[in-house]
């Protein structure tokens, strides 16, 4: 059963394929995330679970989104912190945008499910909180995808099951040629299409429609579709137009 999109004014998910926030590589996308909140002084909640709450990452994000982009930044530490369930719930509910950092997707999702965070994020999404993230923080919103955080010897990539907020959408990130080829195998095995996001490219989904956002003219995203014997690769258009999400399923 498909998860219905949120009802209300505008609800957005921005899944970013990768990029260095310390170098402001995704700045155009990040500015769009803040604009999508509709708030004059947006509060952004950074969720660094996938990195194990790496302190340097938290500081870099706070400097970038806070000092450079002018947002109020809060951080939700679920690995190193001892925040109560009430505090976790309040931080998510009070955010205009939730931004999920990169790292180990599977570890992050396991932690979220143990702490009940997935349902809190779902509730926030339905209340028009902007959900965003980079790398693992992009992959987590899909139904499934291909990750490079695999705890198996001699295995470069492995499947992950996401939250399914982008229901029926399969993703991979940092999608260079080698990873796209591995992702194609993943898709052919399942008989489904999927989206491969390069660094500095983002899939923005608003109320059941999508468009591509990029922060570099050399950033691309692709729709990979299995065929009878192989698969087809189609670059996603970067023209600013919204299209039905079903065109990616």
**pLDDT, position 148:** 85
pLDDT digits (tens, 9 = 90+) for 200-228: 999 999 999 999 999 999 999 999 999 98
For residue 5, being part of any structural domain is answered with: no
- pLDDT of 3 above 60: no
pLDDT of res. 2: 40
Q: Does residue 3 form part of some domain?
A: no
Question: Is the overall model pTM greater than 0.85, yes or no?
Answer: yes
Is residue 7 in a domain?
no
Domain assignment of residue 76, yes or no: yes
Question: Can you give the pLDDT at residue 128?
Answer: 95
Domain assignment present for 4: no
Round the average pLDDT of the chain to a whole number and report it: 93
CATH number, domain of 238, equals 3.40.50.880
Could you read off the pLDDT of 54-96 as tens digits, one per residue? 999 999 999 999 999 999 999 999 999 788 999 999 999 999 9
pLDDT at 116: 96
The secondary structure of the chain as a DSSP string is -PPPPPPSS--EEEEE----GGGTTTHHHHHHHHHHH--SS-EEEEE-GGGTS-HHHHHHHIIIIIIIT--EEEE--SSS----HHHHHHHHHH-SEEEE--S-HHHHHHHHHHHTHHHHHHHHHHTT-EEEEETHHHHTTEEEEEES---STT---EEEE---SEEEEEEESS--HHHHHHHHHHHHHHT--EEEE-TTEEEEEETTEEEEEESSTT--EEEEEE-SSSEEEEEPP-SS--EEGGGG-
pLDDT of residue 37: 97
Residue-range definition of the domain harbouring residue 22: 12-248
Output the pLDDT for position 14: 98
Say if 6 falls within a structural domain: no
Instruction: Examine residue 2 and state whether it is found in any structural domain, yes or no.
Output: no
Q: Is residue 1 part of a domain?
A: no
Number of structural domains in the chain: 1
- List pLDDT tens digits, range 132-165: 999 999 999 999 999 986 655 666 899 999 999 9
- The pLDDT of residue 10 is 61
């Amino acid at each position: 059963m498909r998860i219905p999109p949120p009802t209300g004014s505008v609800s957005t998910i921005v899944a970013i394929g990768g990029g260095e926030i310390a170098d402001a590589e995704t700045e155009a996308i990040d500015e769009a995330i803040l604009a999508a909140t509709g708030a004059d002084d947006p509060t952004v909640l950074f969720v660094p679970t996938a990195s194990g709450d790496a302190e340097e990452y938290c500081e870099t994000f706070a400097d970038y989104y806070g000092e450079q982009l002018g947002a109020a930044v809060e951080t939700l530490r679920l690995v190193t912190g001892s925040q109560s369930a009430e505090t976790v719930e309040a931080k998510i509910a009070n955010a205009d945008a939730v931004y999920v950092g990169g790292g180990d997707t599977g570890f992050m999702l396991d932690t979220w499910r143990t702490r009940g965070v997935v349902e809190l994020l779902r509730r926030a999404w339905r209340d028009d909180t902007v959900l965003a993230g980079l790398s693992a923080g992009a992959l987590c919103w899909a139904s499934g995808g291909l990750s490079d955080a695999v705890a198996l010897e001699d295995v470069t990539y492995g499947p992950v099951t996401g939250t399914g907020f982008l229901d029926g959408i399969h993703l991979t990130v940092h999608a260079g040629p080698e990873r796209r080829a591995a992702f194609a195998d993943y898709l052919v095995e399942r008989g489904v299409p999927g989206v491969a996001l390069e660094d500095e490219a983002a899939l923005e989904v608003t109320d059941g429609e999508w468009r591509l956002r990029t922060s570099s003219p050399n950033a691309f995203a692709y729709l990979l579709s299995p065929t009878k014997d192989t698969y087809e690769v189609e670059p996603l258009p970067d023209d600013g137009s919204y299209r039905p999400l079903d065109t990616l399923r």
